[in-house]
Amino acid sequence: MKVKAKLKNGVVKVKCMAKHDMTTYNQMEKKTGNREDANFITYMTAKIGNETVFEASTSQFLSKNPIFKFQFQGIGAKGDKLVMEWTDRKGNKGKGKGKIK
């Protein structure tokens, strides 16, 4: 996962790309005949230390390798590590880290 974070005027702007195929129920039904083979990111979080700064529940309606953009303020300084984590429908996990610039 690629993670970029920039601090400007007290606001941290984050952009990250999660590498994932994001297969939908319809795609898998056509491909394998079984809708249960679908696999997509269902949960995404971002943390600085123990503090959660972003949390999202997602569905099958995201593109392959989805890009997430968000911003926050009140926590984080230049040099702090931002850790992004996702979990997909089958329980697989992905993780990416970036420093606030």
Question: What architecture (CATH level 2) is domain 2-99?
Answer: Sandwich (2.60)
Residue 32 CA from chain centroid, whole number = 27
Q: For position 79, what pLDDT does the model report? A: 95
Tens digits of residue pLDDT in 53-101: 999 999 999 999 999 999 999 898 999 999 999 999 999 999 999 999 9
Mention every residue, 6+ apart, whose C-beta is less than 8 A from residue 44: 18, 54, 55, 56, 58, 68, 84, 85, 86
Domain boundaries, the chain: 2-99
Residue 7 CA from chain centroid, whole number = 19
Alpha-carbon dihedral 42, 59, 24, 5, rounded to 10 degrees: -70
The Cα 41–Cα 91 span in angstroms is: 9
